[in-house]
Structure 1
Amino acid sequence: MRVHEYDIVVIGGGPSGVPAAVQAARLGARTLLVEKNAGLGGTTTSANVAFPGLFHAWGEQVIAGIGWELVCRAVELGGDELPDFRHDERPHWQRQVRVNAPLYGALLLEEVHNSGIELRLHTMPASAHWTGELWELQLCGKDGLETVTARRLVDCTGDADVIGLAGLERRRNPARQPGTIDIRLSGYDVDALDHDELDRRHALAVESGELLASDLGSRGRPLLPFLAKRGENAIHLVGIEGATSRGRTAGELAGGAAVLRIYRFLRSLPGLEDLRLDFRASEVGVRESVTIAARTTVTGQDYLAGRVWADSVCHSFYPIDIHRPDGNGIDKTHLRHGVVPTVPRGAMVPAGNPYAVVAGRCVGSDQAANSALRVQATAMATGQAAGALAAMAADRGTDVTGVPMADLHRVLVRSGAIVPTLPASAEV
């Protein structure tokens, strides 16, 4: 059986995986990108969280590069304009850049193809083994198993799937944040509704078990905010296990059941008889599953302090944003004015094998830091850094920690990224 050989294999074609593969290919690496879904974009397209951010902090851009290029291209193609982020004091959720998800997904496919990246859709990793010289991977596609090798491996699955297959340690918090199934509702006028009556009926529905307390995203009086948002990114699905197929299956079943519960309940209310469900995302969005046991673990304290590590690869900017594990709302801690956190390379490198690198949601971090690091703009930045690290390490015959930070930064800046200013004690 022929074994296909690559310099870099990137597993996962979401917010971190596409920039990783494009960056590696731009450095001349023979690159394979593997994605389980029918298209690219991950959370942005499949879960329809089509507002990647945040790229700006305190009126200045802090994340750019390949991901930002693609977002800007989608905005332009959609006939929209980017907001003016200077002197922007709006709440963080109003500073998101919205993209047209179908257009964005098509642009990602075009970029990957034009970059000379070999692409496998409808494909998942089945095994991963480090021989001491190469990664041997078995991929499972519609036509069976295929063996490929890679000089360096980039895990952008969001759940550290390949790190787990390789027998490297992953960490789970005992109480994880809920997932969400995204929907869009129409057919009603929010201002014409009897809000007190709707709140009364909602309380009775939760008491009787017709609805779960977490269905509308929080307890108390959640119905008006839910209807005002048309259901967008609001449903909480508690207890989701995102890192296993069984867990994801249970999550999808829970998402489908929640949509039906909510739809049937709302249609029974006065003023909502003509309510329509216009859209349902194709998969449940997972906020939290696992993180890697990394060389460096970013804590919430590190994040809120805006720590600049000696091996920082990119910025991150988002409040601590912990959706309570019981589904009852969100605990937010906002950054102090002027603070811009960073992500260290050490958080992207598994403690047990420095010949692999991860990007996106599963970087080494505690729950507080991860609730901010998980967002798409940061995933794009860590993805581009991971692609550069892997390609440079493969070319030099070193592990990914052997790439000098000054060299990495030069490569990233040439590709449009913004890199943190390292402390004076850092390697230059």
Structure 2
Amino acid sequence: MHDLEKYDVAVLGGGPAGITAAISAARSGAKTILIERYGFLGGMSTAAMVYPWMTFHAASGEQVIKGLAQEIVDRLMALGASPGHLRDTIGFTHTLTPYHPEVYKVLACDMLAEAGADILLHTSVIHVETEGERIGAIRLYGKNGIRELKAKVYVDATGDGDVAYMAGAPWEKGNDNGKLQPMTMKFRMRGVDLQAIKQYMKNNPSEFYEKSLISELDRLPLTGIMGFYSKWREARLPILRDGLLFFSGPGEDEVLINTSRVSGLDPTNSEDLTKAEIEGRKQVLELETFLQLNIPGFERASVSAVGTQIGVRETRRMIGQYVLSGQDVLSARKFADVIARSGYPIDIHNPEGKGVTANFIREGGAYDIPYRSIVPLQTANLLLAGRCISTSHEAQATTRLTPSCMAIGQAAGTAAALAAQLRCDTRDVPIDLLQKLLLAGNAELGITEAAV
């Protein structure tokens, strides 16, 4: 075993939260490294084809997530790899944001390089060494064998809270019965006639989600479709869904299918995850046949890509200094230590049956995510970023969404750099200074001047 260089900040996990955490830490002057187990960045957005990004806006139309997340969208738009924020024609959120995942993979690396952050791919964390309340070092496994890395501050952006878990930080998992939201194997199809789908929706509006913007399809691009309820019921597929859910793009004849569902398994258990991967891919082929035979516009369509891995909605939630609750979300609660905001509703896919439980934020507003929810208990030089932050089962069903994770990652990276510079525990980072840095470096993050 040999050591890597010592860093100020080590970000573990190269998904949307890890990317923004590492960029913001490096831009803040910290010597930063981003570690990722796959051979590319993007996490669920690329490995599991989570698409599109939902949502940067509150239901009122106010944009509440800006900063680095918006910078990424702007740069994708400049590259012709995103149309920007479009109305969600399902009507579930105000907007959604299509993007080209292959361009995002390259752009993320470019932005990290510009910021001066190091990247190490094909590398996994296998052990965390603790010294009292602090992480002393982490062990990594990759093509060089086992190596040790030391940093002043660590950011757990693994999604599953792997680093915090290995460090001995407390955690929770699932609902009151310990059941987790189901997993979904997402896939793309090409050769889809979106005009035929649009016409069917106009002719059969009762077949689709009640909030669908069908009356506005003559002026809006068709971005999302939830429904075909009677055709789904008639098919009697062994998939615990009420209907089809898919999104258009990024190609003109392309859609992303978000309909498979694998329930009753734990993604932090290797045997369960193996079963889920196998079952998910079987469902993809069943759905392809169903779509080709039953759904207008899919007659000549075929599967063009399947996720590298199954999409995971929920695993460990680390317990932090504050546990964000569902009531905090729905009441649009404000916090003095706000470091990010989100307007996405509570969206729980039934862990044990069909359907989705949706609860919307009061008056179409947005809720604050407090700094204390990214500071885990018992580990003094660690921060959380992404879906593993400190929330209840209900609140996690909104904080887990990609734009929320991007905003949380930006705050975590900035805070990690600040803790390294001040040589203080993460719990002692001055919140007023952190908020000012977030505002100064990325004006209109969504945090108002009043909050500072």
Structure-2 residue corresponding to 1:155: 156
Per-residue CA deviation, residues 60-81 of structure 1 (Å, 9 max, x unaligned), is 3221111221121112211654
> Within the alignment, does 1:70 sit opposite 2:75 as a pair?
no
Counterparts of 1:322 and 1:379, CA distance in 2:
17
- CA gap of 1:83–1:290, structure 2 versus 1, over 3 A, is closer
Report matched runs for 1:187-226 at 5 Å: 206=236, 211-214=237-240, 217-218=241-242, 222=243
Given the alignment, which residue of 259, 282, 285 partners 1:260? Answer: 285
Structure-2 residue corresponding to 1:47: 48
1:141 is aligned with what amino acid? G
- CA gap of 1:89–1:337, structure 2 versus 1, over 3 A, is farther
- CA gap of 1:416–1:266, structure 2 versus 1, over 3 A, is closer
Q: Is the 8 A contact 1:308 1:422 kept in 2?
A: no
Counterparts of 2:446 and 2:409, CA distance in 1:
13
Deviates more, 1:256-265 or 1:394-403: 256-265
Per-residue CA deviation, residues 78-108 of structure 1 (Å, 9 max, x unaligned), is 16543488xx998244611111111111100
Given the alignment, which residue of 237, 253, 263 partners 2:262? Answer: 237
Per-residue CA deviation, residues 354-408 of structure 1 (Å, 9 max, x unaligned), is 3211011111111111101111111011101111111111111111121111100
TM-score (norm 1): 0.87
- CA gap of 1:287–1:73, structure 2 versus 1, over 3 A, is same
Structure-1 residue corresponding to 2:333: 307
Structure-1 residue corresponding to 2:213: none
2:438 aligned counterpart, secondary structure: helix
> Within the alignment, does 1:170 sit opposite 2:153 as a pair?
no
Counterparts of 2:28 and 2:257, CA distance in 1:
39
Counterparts of 1:29 and 1:141, CA distance in 2:
24
- CA gap of 1:250–1:153, structure 2 versus 1, over 3 A, is same
- CA gap of 1:10–1:244, structure 2 versus 1, over 3 A, is farther
Report matched runs for 1:243-254 at 5 Å: 243-254=268-279
- CA gap of 1:66–1:200, structure 2 versus 1, over 3 A, is closer
Counterparts of 2:68 and 2:295, CA distance in 1:
49
1:379 is aligned with what amino acid? C
Counterparts of 2:317 and 2:192, CA distance in 1:
41
Counterparts of 1:205 and 1:420, CA distance in 2:
47
Q: Is the 8 A contact 2:340 2:408 kept in 1?
A: yes
1:130 is aligned with what amino acid? T
Q: % of aligned pairs identical?
A: 32
1:183 is aligned with what amino acid? F
- CA gap of 1:383–1:373, structure 2 versus 1, over 3 A, is same
- CA gap of 1:172–1:134, structure 2 versus 1, over 3 A, is closer
2:127 is aligned with what amino acid? S
Counterparts of 1:412 and 1:226, CA distance in 2:
35
Given the alignment, which residue of 420, 428, 450 partners 1:394? Answer: 420
> Within the alignment, does 1:420 sit opposite 2:447 as a pair?
yes
Per-residue CA deviation, residues 24-79 of structure 1 (Å, 9 max, x unaligned), is 11121111100111111111112222322322222332211112211211122116
- CA gap of 1:204–1:420, structure 2 versus 1, over 3 A, is closer
Once the 2 structures are TM-superposed, how far is the Cα of residue 239 of structure 1 from its aligned partner?
2.3
Once the 2 structures are TM-superposed, how far is the Cα of residue 290 of structure 1 from its aligned partner?
1.4
Q: Is the 8 A contact 1:66 1:415 kept in 2?
A: no
1:234 aligned counterpart, secondary structure: coil
- CA gap of 1:320–1:84, structure 2 versus 1, over 3 A, is closer
Aligned CA RMSD, in angstroms, stands at 3.1
- CA gap of 1:109–1:192, structure 2 versus 1, over 3 A, is same
- Structure 1 unaligned segments of length 5 or more: list them: none
Counterparts of 1:400 and 1:192, CA distance in 2:
54
- Structure 2 unaligned segments of length 5 or more: list them: 208-227, 249-253
Per-residue CA deviation, residues 210-267 of structure 1 (Å, 9 max, x unaligned), is x3142xx32xxx26x6799956222222124222443332221121121133335556
2:161 is aligned with what amino acid? A
Instruction: State how many pairs are aligned.
Output: 412
1:145 aligned counterpart, secondary structure: strand
Structure-1 residue corresponding to 2:106: 106
